[in-house]
A and B are shown apart, each in its own frame.
Chain A
Amino acid sequence: MSVVKSMHSLTPITALGGSEPRVETIGGVTCREVPEVALASVTARLKHEGQTKTALKKAVGLTAPDVGLVASKTLTIFWMGPDQWMVEAPFDSHEDLAAQLKALTKDHASVAEQTDAWTRFDVSGENVLNVMELLCNLNTRQMAVDAVSRSSIHHLGCFVRHISADHFGIYGPRASAGSLHHAIITAMSSAR
């Protein structure tokens, strides 16, 4: 996909209201706000499931992952629901990710910009599993790397993605970034 840089004059803020992403380390676990990603949902239209997968493969260079899985190279795709995926890309180079994907998938898929519908927090470190088990009811100890699941954290519907051995990505609703961040930091402080 092509690289498009926006030239407008408005300065963005992160979901937590800062100009820079917030990073905190407690007890060997680091929570980092990750605003540098663009997101777009891609949902296959009825009876266009095959074409959508083909288009996605062409667009992202990855096979659309199966239920509960993530595929990742430069861009990342994770499964959201039946015939529905979230595509994640570096924000700087893909701020118009949704438009680019729509151009490639044409009428085979419905594409919606989701960049600011979510906020991503990366939680990583040696004790990350102890933190995760205070946050959500997923079996994160047994969760494979490159698995993703919906889960409720502090009453918020989130995606929890296992990025690498001691590294999880939590995608939560942007407007509740403060509450979600508080829950994560509290769990980091609380966990042993």
Chain B
Amino acid sequence: MSQINRLEGGQIDRNQPLNFKFDGKSYAGFAGDTLASALLANDVRLMGRSFKYHRPRGPLTAGSEEPNAIVELRSGNRQEPNTRATTAELYEGLTAKSQNRWPSLAFDAMAINDRFSNFLTAGFYYKTFMWPAVFWEKVYEPIIRKAAGLGSLSLLDDPDEYDKGFRHTDLLIIGAGPSGLMAALTAGRAGSDVILADEDFAFGGRLNSETFAINDEASDVWVQATIAELSAMSNVRMMTRTTVIGAFDHGIYGAVERVSDHLIMPAAGKPRQILWRIYAAKTILAAGATERPIAFENNDRPGIMLASAMRSYANRWAATPAQRVTIFTNNDDGHSTAADLHAKGVKIAAVIDSRADAPRSLDYEVVQGAQVVDSKGRLGVKFVEVKLADGSSRTIECGALGVSGGWNPNVHMTCHQRGRPTWNESLAAFVPGGTLPPGMTVTGAANGDLSTHMALKTGAAAAKAALGLKGRSAKTPTAEDAPVSQTPFWYVEGCSRAWLDQQNDVTVKDVKLSHQEGFRSVEHLKRYTTLGMATDQGKTSNMGGLAIMAELAGKSIPEVGTTIFRPPYTPTSIGVLAGRMRGKEFHPTRLTPSHYWAKERGAVFVEVGNWLRAQWFPIAGETHWRESVDREVTATRASVGVCDCTTLGKIDVQGSDAATFLNKVYCNAFAKLAVGKVRYGLMLREDGIAMDDGTAGRLAEDHFVVTTTTAKAAAVYQHLEFVRQCLYPDLDVQLISTTEAWAQYAVAGPNSRALLQKIVDPEFDISNEAFPFMGCGNITVCGGLRARLFRISFSGELAFEIAVPSRYGDALMRRLMDVGEEFNVTPYGTEALGVMRIEKGHAAGNELNGTTSALNLGMGRMVSKKKDSIGSTLSERAGMNEENALMQVGIQPLDPADKITSGGHLMAADGPVDAAHDQGYVTSAAFSPTLSSMIGLGMLKDGGNRQGEKMRLVSPLTDLTVDVEIVSAHFVDPEGERVRG
């Protein structure tokens, strides 16, 4: 079969033949074709099956409003279901499959549903799957889920990339038909910054489908000249294949550009689609109009389509659905289709016009005052049944029927911010009204101006008005200006299974049933019948449904109203909404200054927020992470270890009131901290709960460096800025983050000082006397590099933290490893860090969990009563100071072989295990190589007075019960001698 329905002319490129496959069968088309036009040219009308009844369906339209001809495009990991054949551009090697059928499109076993249509009416699911209740989840839901949806997913990762981008413009023009093009010309010539976007791959809109003249030449000449002029303007950006999907707040429009959908795959490095956010000062909506069908019995057979679509296929794509065609219309526009097809050599069987005074034609028969009432044909229309004016019937043989019931302006985008359209009686259609999105003007057919002349004229005028352009307007090109007369004609009387919504199989009968059963509000009608849902969002069906509901309710259509139109205007892939933010690119990554060195050492990394931190450093022979971690802990406690702690937040606090400021944000005193000293600090939330802890070192009278936990760095900075700007704007204090400016390493263990002495320049004395515990200062290392040294310890050992500018962090780590060889220096990761801080009893994020107070953490006395600080007053609430309040404790198993699990709960040694008898919970747990058993930290009621008590640690979820002893939280060096050594 070779394109037997291909006509002469059109905008296809016959020099570029293209091969494609539909349901495994090979066909040929041309560049410029859509899948639908190429299939029609190949005499394929049957392109899909309907959702519910599996009725054979072909294209109803030639655009994005298509409800029927939806296919699975491409294969493998690029397979995309529910793609409209009417907008899918043909390319060499395109493959498509029909969907919602089994085993084949021509023979679909599920078409049996059509025989049971009396049962499968609106509300079928609600009425049927009611009982027994036990069937809901196990039986009904799986069945309904299997039947639901159209097409299938490949379940493979999408191999393509998607981008997001931002564009700004003085004027966004949505739609590049005559009105949009004229608006762009007017604004572009005035020098304004313009974006012209159209969902089609060719500009021109409806002009591409018509044989109208503009300025006494074929409209195509004007379109091409206009495109050429606009393309030459640097201030006009022309975006084809770009669907504006939504009008959002503040003049921001979402637009999806299909960069590569017309290619077999995207070019290397290029995205498949881009989601643009277009910031428009003004917008002109020139989205055109959609022709409306007339419902009659069996009006859904392949070959029955909108008359305007038939005209598009013939004029633009040189294709006809059949060689013998009938037209059914209630207006003059239907006659244009007949005339154009006749001119292309297609046999017009008849034009059935419901008007008694319909215009006659010399070229074909016009049947006045008649209506098409039924159709016949198994997989496509073969005959239409016509009821003549005198009441008699006539059967007409034809392979296609073009239906025209008038036009509906595309008002969707005007409603995205809850604007409601208004009813235009002369058009019998809704037109934009009420409150439009700010800055929006609507022109041309979208505004109900349905002639080409008016489209051109209003487009130019709208651009002038929107941009406030002065001066005389350029002459509007001459074009047809036929008076438009539309009368309501929604359905043929007496029909029952007449399809309103072909995508959801909603018939006239369903709407009547909905009314009968009390679902009369338009929103209820939609949800009860599914009218207007799914990929086409009812672009061809809503009006018919409303009209019938209005008639049944005895109301006018505007009284019934419409459902609200919401974004997106057409189906949008999830991929383009995600953009680059997926997989490993879901969030940015932060690398520590020693990252490249750690990677060379074979470190195993862990994600800590966005940071990648070395978790441990395995060495040859180690087969389990515990071996590495135990070794790192033991080596550090025995000699010296180094850990990259750059990730801790560092906030530079300066100003003459810096000390006063810190006194406000920390619950403990800071005002009198001496220069050259560091102090541990606890910040409370306003409600008295612990927010974060860390240290603050005083480098000068008016200069502190505050450290935060890794997790809370940003939150604490934000909090401090809030306090500075809003609570104490009269304090002279300045903040800036220096987290990434400095590479900071913990050097811990009895030989830490000896190691540091090898790199700290000799003029700096870091002996215990000169640089005691909790000292800090600016120093230099390695022959003059500026550095900061803090004598603080998270491990409980003699320890320091040394900081150098980040670019030198890699070199400093390598130097520490080199000079530390004699001490068996050992790099350690976050696991060993965690083990050592648990052994020392230092609280971390597990303990500062948003529910604990200073009292719970064993630091109740730190909350100074001598000053006012954030959270101090509310920390005195009675409920937070009960006698048996939770207190941090240490937990050790009686049998060293037993496990301690974080999250387990503490219960009395005997008695019931339930929530009522809960005594506390474990916050942190680790294996301690120092104690040769697992240990834990936890919160226990009245924990301060329960050391030595035997309890049970239970974890019902993991079926664990362990006998434990409550001990001091400080397992290692409880007196703190090592840190001061």
CB atoms of A107 and B277 under 8 A apart: no
Q: Is the CB of A137 within 8 A of B277?
A: yes
Q: How far is the CA of A138 from the CA of B592 in the complex (A)?
A: 29
**Stretch in B378-386, B396-404, B525-533, B580-588 with 4+ CB within 8 Å of A:** B580-588
**Are B580 and A175 closer than 8 Å at their CB atoms?**
no
Which residues of A, 69-124, contact B by the 8 Å Cβ criterion?
84, 96, 99, 107, 110-118
Considering only CB atoms, which chain B residue lies closest to A189 in the complex? Answer: B269
Cα A189 to Cα B580 with chains together (Å): 13
- Report if B193 contacts A (CB, 8 A): yes
Interface string of A120-154 (1 = CB under 8 A from B): 00000000000001101111011000000000001
Q: Are A190 and B588 in contact (CB under 8 A)?
A: no
Question: Is the pair A112, B592 in contact by a Cβ cutoff of 8 Å?
Answer: no
Contact in complex: B163, A179 (CB < 8 Å):
no
Smallest CB–CB gap between B717 and chain A, Å?
11
Closest to B166 in A: A137
Closest to B778 in A: A99
Q: Is A29 an interface residue (CB 8 A)?
A: no
Contact of A8 among B580, B741, B785 (CB under 8 A): B785
Interface residues of A in 147-171 (CB under 8 A from B): 154-156
Decide if B805 touches A112 in the complex (CB within 8 Å).
no
CA distance A10 to B581 in the complex (A): 37
Chain A residues within 8 Å of B581, by CB? 155
Using an 8 Å CB-CB cutoff, how does the interface string of B740-756 with A read, 1 for contact, 0 for none? 11110000000000000
CA distance A114 to B650 in the complex (A): 12
Instruction: Say which residue of B596, B732, B739 sits within 8 Å of A17 (CB atoms).
Output: B596
Query: Which B684-704 residues have C-beta < 8 A from chain A?
Result: 702-703
What residue in chain A is nearest B742 (Cβ atoms)?
A: A116
Q: Are A6 and B785 in contact, CB atoms less than 8 angstroms apart?
A: yes
Whether A179 touches B588, Cβ cut-off 8 Å, given contacts A7-B784, A112-B654, is yes
* Contact indicator B592/A9 (Cβ below 8 Å): no
Binary flags per residue of B324-343, CB closer than 8 Å to A gives 1, else 0: 00000000000000000000
Shortest Cβ distance from residue B100 to the other chain A in the assembled complex, whole angstroms: 35
A114 in complex: contacting residue of B165, B731, B741, CB < 8 Å = B741
Q: Which of B110-118, B435-443, B810-818 forms contacts with chain A?
A: B810-818
Q: Is A174 an interface residue (CB 8 A)?
A: yes
Interface residues of A in 24-80 (CB under 8 A from B): 26, 35, 41, 43, 45-47
Contact of B580 among A14, A107, A137, A154 (CB under 8 A): A154
A116 and B168 contact, CB distance less than 8 A? no
Given known A-B contacts A13-B810, A156-B588, A133 and B596 have beta carbons under 8 A apart? no
* Chain B, residue nearest A130 (CB): B165
Determine whether the beta carbon of A112 is less than 8 Å from that of B732.
Answer: no
Q: Does A176 contact B610, Cβ atoms closer than 8 Å?
A: yes
Contact partner, B161, options A26, A142, A190, Cβ 8 Å:
A190
In the complex, which residue of chain B has the Cβ closest to the Cβ of A82?
A: B725
Neighbouring B residues of A43 by C-beta, 8 Å: 654, 734, 736
A11 touching B811 by the CB < 8 A rule? yes
**In the complex, are the beta carbons of A41 and B166 less than 8 A apart?**
no
- Within the complex, what minimum Cβ distance (angstroms) separates A39 from chain B? 9
Residues on A with beta carbons closer than 8 Å to the beta carbon of B610: 176
Q: What is the size, in residues, of chain A's interface with B at 8 Å between Cβ atoms?
A: 57
Residues of A within 8 A of B646 (CB): 175
Bound together, the chains give a CA A139 to CA B274 distance in angstroms of: 18
Binary interface profile of B, 799-824, with partner A (CB < 8 Å = 1, else 0)? 00000111110111001000000000
Of A110, A115, A156, A178, the most chain B CB neighbours within 10 A belong to: A110
Which of chain A's residues have a CB closer than 8 A to the CB of B193?
141-142
B271 within 8 A of A: yes
Are B168's CB and A117's CB within 8 A? no
List the B residue with the shortest CB-CB distance to A96.
B786
Per the bound structure, the CA–CA distance linking A182 and B586 in Å amounts to 13
The residue in chain B whose Cβ has the minimal distance to the Cβ of A86 is B736
Q: Is the CB of B585 within 8 A of A8?
A: no
B783 within 8 A of A: yes
Give Cα A111–Cα B734 distance, bound, in whole angstroms: 9
* Complex interface: chain B residues within 8 A of A111 (CB): 654
Give Cα distance in the complex from A8 to B581, angstroms: 42
Q: Which residues of A contact B269 (CB under 8 A)?
A: 26, 186, 189-190
What is the bound-complex CA distance between A179 and B274, given in angstroms?
A: 20
Instruction: Given the known inter-chain contacts A136-B166, A176-B590, please indicate yes or no for A10 contacting B740, CB distance below 8 A.
Output: no
Chain B residues positioned under 8 Å from A15 (CB to CB): 807
Residue of A13, A118, A155 near B587 (CB, 8 A) is: A155
Structural contact, B815 and A110, CB atoms closer than 8 A: no
How long is the Cα–Cα vector from A141 to B657 in the complex, in angstroms? Answer: 43
B651 to chain A, nearest CB (A): 10
**In terms of DSSP, what is the predominant structure of the interface of chain A?**
mixed
Which chain A residues lie closer than 8 Å to B654 at the CB level?
Answer: 43, 110-112
Partner of A180, one of B588, B741, B785: B588
Given A10-B782, A96-B786, A107-B702, A187:B163 Cβ within 8 A? yes
Cα A183 to Cα B743 in complex, Å, equals 24
Shortest Cβ distance from A64 into chain B, in angstroms? 15
Contact A116 B588 (CB under 8 A): no
Could you tell me if B588 and A155 are in contact, using CB atoms closer than 8 angstroms? yes
Q: Are B580 and A183 in contact, CB atoms less than 8 angstroms apart?
A: yes
Q: Is B270 an interface residue (CB 8 A)?
A: yes
Pick the most buried of B702, B805, B815: most chain A CB atoms within 10 A of its CB.
B805
List of B residues within 8 angstroms of A14 by Cβ: 807
**Any A CB within 8 A of the CB of B660:** no
CA A154 – CA B269 in complex, angstroms?
A: 18
User: A134-B163, A139-B279, A175-B590 are contacts. A115–B805 as well, Cβ < 8 Å?
Assistant: yes
Q: Which residues of A contact B812 (CB under 8 A)?
A: 10
* A residues near B165, Cβ cutoff 8 Å: 133-134
Residues A10 and B811 in contact, CB atoms below 8 Å apart? yes
B814 to chain A, nearest CB (A): 9
What is the distance, in angstroms, from A174's C-beta to the closest C-beta of chain B?
5
With A43-B734, A139-B279 as known contacts, state yes or no: A13 contacts B590, CB within 8 Å: no
B596 engages A13 (CB within 8 Å): yes
Q: Contacts A13-B810, A190-B270: A178 and B591 contacting too (C-beta < 8 A)?
A: yes
The one of A11, A45, A115, A174 that contacts B734, using a Cβ cutoff of 8 Å: A45
Is B478 interfacial (CB 8 A cutoff)? no
Asked if B164 is at the interface (CB within 8 A of a chain A CB), the reply is: yes
Q: Does B424 contact A (CB under 8 A)?
A: no
The CA-CA distance from A98 to B591 in the complex, in Å, is 25
Contact residues in B for A10 (Cβ distance below 8 Å): 781-782, 785, 804, 808, 811-812, 815
B767 at the interface (CB under 8 A from A): no
- Contact status A110-B734, CB under 8 Å: yes
Proximity string of chain B (858-884) to chain A, C-beta cutoff 8 Å, 1 when within and 0 when not:
000000000000000000000000000
Per the bound structure, the CA–CA distance linking A166 and B592 in Å amounts to 33
Name the residue on B nearest A134 (C-beta). B165
Nearest opposing residue in chain A for B588, CB measure: A179
Asked if A45 and B805 sit within 8 Å, CB to CB, the answer is no
Cβ A6 vs Cβ B279 within 8 A: no
CB neighbours (8 Å) of B595 from chain A are 17
Is the CB–CB distance between B168 and A173 below 8 Å? no
B583-625 toward A: CB 8 Å interface, digit per residue (1/0)? 0010111111001100000000000001100000000000000
**Interface residues of A, Cβ cutoff 8 Å to B:** 6-15, 17, 26, 35, 41, 43, 45-47, 84, 96, 99, 107, 110-118, 133-134, 136-139, 141-142, 154-156, 173-180, 182-183, 186-187, 189-190, 192
Instruction: List 18 contacting pairs A-B, 8 Å CB cutoff, sorted by A.
Output: A6-B784, A8-B780, A9-B783, A10-B782, A14-B807, A45-B655, A112-B654, A115-B741, A117-B738, A117-B740, A133-B165, A134-B166, A142-B168, A155-B581, A155-B588, A176-B588, A179-B588, A186-B161
Q: Pick the 9 closest A-B CB pairs, nearest first.
A: A189-B269, A110-B654, A179-B588, A116-B806, A12-B807, A46-B732, A117-B741, A8-B785, A175-B590
Given A13-B811, A112-B736, A116-B743, 9 more pairs with CB closer than 8 A: A7-B784, A10-B811, A11-B811, A17-B810, A133-B167, A139-B279, A175-B611, A189-B269, A192-B270
